[in-house]
Chains A and B, each alone.
Chain A
Amino acid sequence: MKARAPLAVALALLLLPLGFMDLRTYLTLTVAGLAMGMLIFLVAAGLTLIFGLMDVLNFAHGALFSWGAYAGFAVAALLNGRWGWAASPSVAANALLLAAAIVVAMAVTVVLGVLLERIIVRPVYGQHLFQILITLGASIVLEELIRILWGPNDQVMPVPATIQGSWDVADVVVLRVPVVAIGLGLAIYAGMQLLLNRTRIGLIVRAGVENGEMIQVMGHNIHRYFTGVFAAGSALAGVGGLMWAIFSQSVRPGMGGEQLIFAFIVVIIGGLGSVTGSLVGALMVGLSYNYVAYLVPKAAIGVTMALMVIVLLLRPTGLYGTAK
């Protein structure tokens, strides 16, 4: 029963705004909030692996988010510039462009993630202060590299025509991009749960996180698994960045840094290391931000912080966290 308590509270809060607005507005805001939550989840999902499971304070996660966005942007701009695949009404061309952008965004961030882990993170496992300093340094270098390669200004992200615009479902305006984001977020959540709880790799990673020395004397090379986890977390940041670029229809070099704080808050709200916690936390942040922005626009920024304070007062280890 205890595990369901946070979910019940979340659902109750979800229905609360209904008393202050009509149903149609509520549904529109809910879809927007879920989409925003899923986008935050994509960033937080990678962070919960790296920060929550491996206990590495990775401040370069935001820079990887930006790199994913720019790598996807570069592919989309190239394909759209040469063959018009984004502007084309052809669903196949649109889908190919989206798939190519996702694959390249993930590939680039995986390579960057592996390099980061091997070169700068591995010497500082277990040392939080050094982790903050060195990953912050790496994040500055990575962000400046984006400025050198793509310039310092905002650029317009080509968005496939198929997922632009909206559907009208029973008088509720449903934007298509948020629906894609929600679908992708759920798919990634399901994939992570499967990988961690149903595969041997997931089992070894969970055991290694609890006791790295013991898993090594059992014959498992934990460094190889941690590199893999770091790479997977980086790929999630990359996909998150790409989706954010599509959602906001633009890219800019500093976009990742802004999302990083949100992601850290979500990981803390959800409980370190819990993928489910990150999902619930991200959805709570996304929904409460949208409801409050409609009802009391000035309070929207503060509501995320307030949410974290309330959750930590009630459950110091986060919604789904277990004390280590």
Chain B
Amino acid sequence: MAGASLLEVDDLHTYIGQHHILQGVSLRIRPDAVTVLLGRNGAGKTTTMRTIMGVLHPTRGAVRFDGRPIHHLPPYEIARLGIGYVPEGQGIFGTLTVDENLRVAALAEDAPSGRRLERILDLFPDLDRFRHARAGTLSGGQKQMLSIARAFVNPNRLLLIDEPSKGLAPIIVEHLIDALRAMKQHATVLLVEQNFAMASALGDDFYLIDDGRTVRHGSMASLAADHELKKKYLGI
């Protein structure tokens, strides 16, 4: 099984300023599966993603993508290996139009990219309707859809999606779950999600982070059944 992981994170330690945020995070992400990263606020979920993306640099440990160490690379090289990132708070370019947001994300303007874009716009018809509007004028849900759509424009092999349901109305979250379910057939996903309904609807595997360490992992189905574990680490 060891060689079958698309992404391997080994004993990652990351500081932000003087704060030792990650103190030993290890992950194995299976290809074509959705792995959910769970944990309380401040446990280190977002920091883990930012370290994988190269925005933060680890002081110890390793990140390997497809067997190749990537933790010393700058973010733009990591992105070009085929890792897409949908950050917390969406990271939309508000002064650009929806169309410009999608075009700036596309690293190649070839036929397959065009087909992927068509498929995304089918899933998110709102984006097509407001294609020439400034992205800053979109609603919260539409911004989240745009953020996810940007990551799908490229033939990414791995997507890091950070709390897509945050601040969205329940009905929008339902729509988002449907869209992500349709998309997961095409990519491996590492998802940070506080909304347990969404996490269990999409997730295949889970990792639990507490105080900057990965403490448990297993299949999402086993977590859903383990009420004690959920209560201890997630308070639900």
Q: Which residues of B contact A214 (CB under 8 A)?
A: 87, 91, 93
* In-complex Cβ contact of B76 among A203, A206, A210, A219 (8 A): A219
Q: Does A138 contact B (CB under 8 A)?
A: no
Q: Is the CB of A217 within 8 A of B103?
A: no
Q: Which residue of B lies closest to A273 (CB)?
A: B95
Interface size of A by Cβ–Cβ distance < 8 Å?
A: 18
Q: Does B150 contact A (CB under 8 A)?
A: yes
Q: Is the CB of A218 within 8 A of B104?
A: yes
Q: Does B201 contact A (CB under 8 A)?
A: no
Interface residues on B, range: 20 to 34
Q: Is the CB of A206 within 8 A of B96?
A: yes
Q: Which residues of A contact B87 (CB under 8 A)?
A: 214, 217
Q: Is the CB of A218 within 8 A of B95?
A: no
* In-complex Cβ contact of A210 among B75, B93, B103 (8 A): B93
Minimum CB–CB distance for A33 against chain B, Å: 32
- Binary interface profile of B, 72-106, with partner A (CB < 8 Å = 1, else 0)? 00111011100001010001011110001101110
- A211 and B100 alpha carbons, distance in the complex (Å): 14
- A80 and B53 alpha carbons, distance in the complex (Å): 57
Known: A210-B94, A214-B91. A203 touches B103 (CB 8 A): yes
Q: Does A204 contact B (CB under 8 A)?
A: yes
Q: Which of A23-53 contact B (CB under 8 A)?
A: none
Main secondary structure of the interface of A (DSSP, over half): helix
Q: Which residues of A contact B78 (CB under 8 A)?
A: 217
Q: Is the CB of B91 within 8 A of A220?
A: no
* In-complex Cβ contact of B104 among A204, A213, A217, A221 (8 A): A204
- A222 and B104 alpha carbons, distance in the complex (Å): 13
Which among B91, B100, B154 has the highest number of chain A CB atoms within 10 Å? B91
Minimum CB–CB distance for B96 against chain A, Å: 6
Q: Is the CB of A211 within 8 A of B91?
A: yes
- A217 and B150 alpha carbons, distance in the complex (Å): 11
Minimum CB–CB distance for A214 against chain B, Å: 4
* In-complex Cβ contact of A203 among B53, B96, B154 (8 A): B96
Q: Which residues of A contact B105 (CB under 8 A)?
A: 218
Q: Does B55 contact A (CB under 8 A)?
A: yes
Q: Is the CB of A210 within 8 A of B95?
A: yes
Known: A203-B100, A204-B104. A221 touches B95 (CB 8 A): no
Listed by A's residue number, 28 A-B pairs whose Cβ atoms lie within 8 Å are A200-B103, A203-B96, A203-B103, A203-B104, A206-B93, A206-B100, A207-B93, A207-B96, A207-B104, A210-B93, A211-B93, A213-B91, A214-B91, A215-B104, A216-B55, A216-B75, A216-B79, A217-B54, A217-B75, A217-B76, A217-B78, A217-B85, A218-B105, A219-B79, A220-B76, A220-B104, A221-B74, A221-B76
